[in-house]
Structure 1
Amino acid sequence: MRAALLSGLRCAAAVLAASLLAWAQPLHAGPTLTAEQQAGRRLYLEGESAFGDAFTGRIGMGQQQLPGPAVRCGNCHGADGRGRPEGGIRPVNITWSELTKSYGHAHDNGRRHPPFDEASLRRAIVDGVDAAGNPLDASMPRFRISGRDWKALLAYMKVLELQQDPGVGSDTLRLGTLLPGAGRFAELGQAVKGILQAHLDEINAGGGIHGRRLELVSADYASDDPDAARSALRKLVAQGDVFALLSPFAAGLEDELGRLANESRIPVVGPLSLFGADPRSSNQQVFHLLSGIGELAEVLALHLGREPKARAMPAVLLHPDGPAGAALADALGQRLKNQGWSRLDRVAFRPGTTDAAALARTLKARGAEAVFLLGPGVDVAALARQLAEAGRPPYLLLPGPLAPRAVLELPAAFDGRILLAYPTVPADQKPEALRQYAALFKGSALVRGHQTTQVPAYSSAVLLAETLKRVGRDLTREKLVAALESVQGFEPGLVPAVSFNASRRVGALGGYVVAVDLKARNFSQVGGFLALP
């Protein structure tokens, strides 16, 4: 593997690292809801009475009573009312036009009944019987609901099917992104925006997806102003009328992005970031394309730990000071213990202000024989010099994005003791996919020179487009999340295959280990893609 390639990977990651160091509503676009309909919507989606009235449900053969949020209608019937499979049960479509269709209903189990009206629907919700008096399945809760809550719920159910998720039009689908438009990283923002727009233009030239043209809505901000970035993100989600976020530049905004995505139920595909709090489980709306710092550190531990004696070495997790860094160290520490690492310690550092000599003394005092770096802000070269002067140095286990540019200039004492991990390598790039990607640059004014950021952004757009095709014309955010969770072994073409499920939110979960040969002054890939369990 050429040193130039790894230098390029490190340069792209350095932009994210530098940025880190520097600093709604889920349904609308239908008719405006009345106050009563809004109260019904809250009951339907959240299981909470807008009036403060009691709302509970009895469920199962034993008719166990549960609070409203545990048995809310949208949990099983979906935000759109059309039902979604849950534990082998498929709840019925409860949109008003479906419930009241003139010829009634015939179910797969042979149960038949006439159409519902307001009175029979209330009996179904309260007593658990259909319009013919037949008992409903025990999985359907029998609700205790006040008169005014019932009126509100009914009012909302009558307009439920007329509601659309933000950004969904009859012939357009609006996708949002957040990118630096001024400051140090303005060119990178322009490069990512350009490649995303070029790919969407290509899709639109072919007729769009299910009759809709894809529109990119970019919220720009000054990269040196973290408050402006947060404000732009909030405004995009709350007022931008976008269906999903595609490859937002999230370095330093991970917590804010996750919170907004969760509150607004807006899917986020391929955020550009070194890491999140724990992207595998922290937020069900955020789908990471590639592994971040924590996953890459785990890859290094899995590789080195193949030797039992390595897992017995005293190892230190060197993490940024603060709640986010501590949370990352906690999560990684637990996973390493599960791998069999038995002598783990933790040392916090203050990014950008840590004294290398003092840090080296601390690591030596802890007896560190392996050091995992978990965040930017440490002068790795200075730390390596101090450790080399203090005697036999430890293994330096560096997620590739955190490796210094001059890693080949580190002290000779570290020869054979430096391992890097990267989420992707050029061998992942399939010839046909590379040809299609390169064609976007021909005859265009696209910014070049940021390929290691543009490639993941482009690949995220490829993933999103494929998933939108799978969902179909009847599109909701909820359906998109479910479709992303069903992606297994999809090949974006320029990065490793990606897979998700209900609890997995990193598509290419794993990475490649690269050894640093200081004597020969080169890099060598050690094996293939190392997948994490």
Structure 2
Amino acid sequence: MKTSLILGLLLTSSLHCIADTLPLSPEESAGKRLYREGVSSSGEPIMARVGAAGMLLPATSLPCANCHGTDGLGRPEGGVRPPELSWSRLTSTYGQRQINGRNYPAYTEGTLARAIQEGRDPGNNHLDPAMPRFVLSMKDQRNLTAYLKRLADERDPGLTPDSLHVGTLLPSQGALAEEGATVAAVLNGSVARINKAGGIHGRQLRLTILDPGPDRISAERALDQLIDQEQVFALIAPLAPALDTQLVSRLEQAGIPLIGPLSLQGTAQSSRQIFEPMPGAREQLIALADYASASLRVLQGPTLITYTEDPGQRLAAQTLSQYLQDHAWQNVSLKAYDSAQDELPLGSRSVFYLGCGSDFSHLAERLQTAGQVPYLFAMSNQVAGDLLQVPNGFSRRVFLSYPFVPSDWTLAGRLALTQLREQQGLGGQHAVLQVGAFSSMLLLSDGMKQAGRDASREKLINALEGLHDFDTGLTPRLSFGPGRRLGLNGAHIVTVDLPDQRFYLVAPYKPITATP
């Protein structure tokens, strides 16, 4: 009898596991899209009534998952605490008790439809006014209900009982091939270190790296492959500038978290899905500008902002120009820089440069040849490799922003990165990218540990959002929060004695006060 009981339990357990992994039916898949994106299976727009006045808005702007989370567990925000939407909770025979203390019976399919469409619970009480009332067809309502019945059992892609699959996009050819290889080495080394230590909650990490190719179309295709075919759980430290704004919409559509220093590439990527350990171009340039206005007599100008002809650099230059003009800088001008052209505006007291390193030293040489030695401002991650080619006449007139400096490195942090470099055959090249990728893996590891064994993408996002004063051992401490997705919001400012090749910290890291 005991044998029969054990076999029965094993059989029941096996059937349960099989049921958990069954693919969604067409109706459930349609309900999932409605839940996450606010899109009807018919292709017709879905509207929702909002507030006491019942103002109509498209459901795509406020889908269920925005407040209840892709896992249905609810995400408190702005004083509103959306309830959990698991079917077992909704239909509990013990009834429900709202956070405000109101009691009401268990939900049925009918009363759930009324709650979604009319904003009333099974006790006929009005739901919180923040809850939209959706205008749904009978078919859309059935699809949504069908998906809610599966919501609690659906495991996010890329997560199995014994593995966690993450992915990234890194170029293996072209202008960024060396940077891509550097980041790949750091990520592979970090994955090996985590797996050697037993993984995360018993799960071994698996990393898939795809080449984004030469342009936006190839990058979008590679991203789709990671999401749809490889089905990664999260993206980690990608280097694919061509994606630009398409990345955000694709991540939000799929509900995939991304951890990595995207804004270093120039264009800020603002999304709830994205967590960046490094300050972006905007933050570093503002830190440089704030230092210059406080410590150098430069407000009267003229000030030149020059940038290589690239959409991301151009946007960053325009953002900086507006910031300078809003903060009493006078005679500010912008110009795309072409090293092959002789034309160059002269007479500037300050020059901010955005672009690749070789053009930076060439710009300095041309200025010196013309008898001009203005202050030069740039981001270290763009120009540090070419810095010592700058003419000595600019000694202590070059100011660079650094997300971190050697004094930020703890003994443990230095040892961990040094060991990884030795194992992967890395030197000190592209140090900012190395530390950015290394810190991204630390954030992923800590976030997944906090998310627990029963992790989900939504739990990872919530865990990362709750990190404050996180110690990477290599940077100032990182902090995130609701609406805050940059772990560092400023930079150290360093000047250079070019003949002696010595660097001097002139302003330590502090968060900038400017808001986006």
TM-score band by shorter chain is 0.7 to 0.9
User: What runs of 5+ residues in structure 1 fail to find an aligned partner?
Assistant: 1-28
- Tell me by how many angstroms 1:464 deviates: 1.4
- Tell whether the 8 Å contact from 2:303 to 2:348 is kept in structure 1 after alignment: yes
Alignment of 1:306 onto 2:294: yes
Contact 2:373/2:393 (<8 A) preserved: yes
Q: State how 1:191-340 maps to structure 2 within 5 Å.
A: 192-220=183-211, 231-251=221-241, 253-255=243-245, 257-271=247-261, 274-279=264-269, 281=270, 283-307=271-295, 309-340=297-328
For CA contacts below 8 A with separation 6 or more, give which structure has more relative contact order.
1
Counterpart check, 1:390 vs 2:370: yes
Structure 1 pair 436–231 and aligned structure 2 pair: CA distance change class (3 A): same
Is 1:485 matched up with 2:465?
A: yes
Which stretch of the first structure deviates more once superposed, 199-208 or 495-504? Answer: 199-208
Match of 2:407 among 413, 420, 427: 427
> Following the alignment from structure 1 to structure 2, what is the Cα–Cα distance between the partners of residues 81 and 216?
28
Alpha-carbon contact 1:31-1:162 (below 8 Å) kept: no
Matches of 1:302 and 1:119 in 2, distance apart? Answer: 60
Match of 2:348 in 1: 368
Distance 2:484 2:436 in 1: 18
Mapping 1:132-151, distance limit 5 Å: 132-151=123-142
Going from structure 1 to structure 2, the CA distance change for 1:398 and 1:114 (only over 3 Å counts) comes to closer
**In 2, Cα distance between equivalents of 1:118 and 1:252:** 46
Name the CA shift for 1:380/1:106 in 2 (closer, same or farther; >3 Å). closer
Q: Does structure 1 residue 128 correspond to structure 2 residue 119?
A: yes
- 1:184 and 1:379 map into 2 onto residues whose CA distance is 14
Q: Structure 2 residue aligned with 1:496, among 472, 476, 484?
A: 476
Q: Is the 8 A contact 2:70 2:255 kept in 1?
A: no
| Residue-pair matches, total | 492
Within 2, Cα distance between the matches of 1:402 and 1:339?
25
> Does the 8 A contact of 1:175 with 1:244 survive in 2?
yes
1:158 Cα deviation from its structure 2 partner: 1.8
Conservation of the 8 A alpha-carbon contact between 1:396 and 1:419: yes
Looking at structure 1, the residues matched to 203 and 298 of structure 2 have their Cα atoms a distance apart, in angstroms, of 55
Evaluate the alpha carbon distance shift between residue 378 and residue 292 of structure 1 in structure 2; reply closer, same or farther with a 3 A threshold: farther
Does residue 74 (structure 1) correspond to residue 65 (structure 2)? The answer is: yes
Percent identical residues:
38
Structure 1 residue identity aligned to 2:327: Q
Give the 3 Å change call, closer, same or farther, for CA 155–206 of structure 1 in structure 2: same
1:139/1:461 CA distance change after superposition, 3 Å = same
Structure 2 Cα separation of the partners of residues 439 and 61 of structure 1: 60
Q: Is the 8 A contact 2:166 2:208 kept in 1?
A: yes
Partner Cα distance (1:406, 1:200) in 2: 31
Q: Which amino acid aligns with 1:208?
A: G
In 2, Cα distance between equivalents of 1:144 and 1:221: 40
| TM-superposition CA deviations, 1:336-368 (whole Å, max 9, x none) | 234332331111124xx532x322xxx11xx42
Question: 1:394·1:417 contact (CA, 8 Å) conserved in 2?
Answer: yes
After superposition, the CA RMSD in angstroms is 3.1
After superposition, residues 394-433 of structure 1 pair within 5 angstroms as 394-403=374-383, 405=385, 407-408=387-388, 410-433=390-413
Structure-to-structure mapping, 1:43-82, within 5 angstroms: 43-52=34-43, 55-82=46-73
C-alpha distance after superposition, 1:226-285 (max 9, x if no partner) = 876654343223211111111223355545544543443322212477423124x3x443
Equivalent in 425, 428, 432 of residue 447 of structure 1: 425
- Is 1:164 equivalent to 2:155 in the alignment? yes
Query: Aligned AA for 2:425?
Result: V
1:169-189, Cα deviation, whole Å (9 max, x unpaired) = 123211112334567876765
The alpha carbon displacement at 1:196 in A equals 2.8
**Is contact 2:212-2:223 (8 Å) kept?**
no
Partners of 1:186 and 1:346 in 2: CA distance? 29
TM-score normalised by L of structure 1: 0.82
Aligned partners of 1:202, 1:216: CA distance in 2, in Å? 13
Q: TM-score, normalised by structure 2?
A: 0.84
CA distance in 1, matches of 2:57, 2:384: 55
Do the aligned residues in 2 keep the contact of 1:191 with 1:450 (CA within 8 Å)? no
Counterpart of 1:346 in structure 2 is: 334
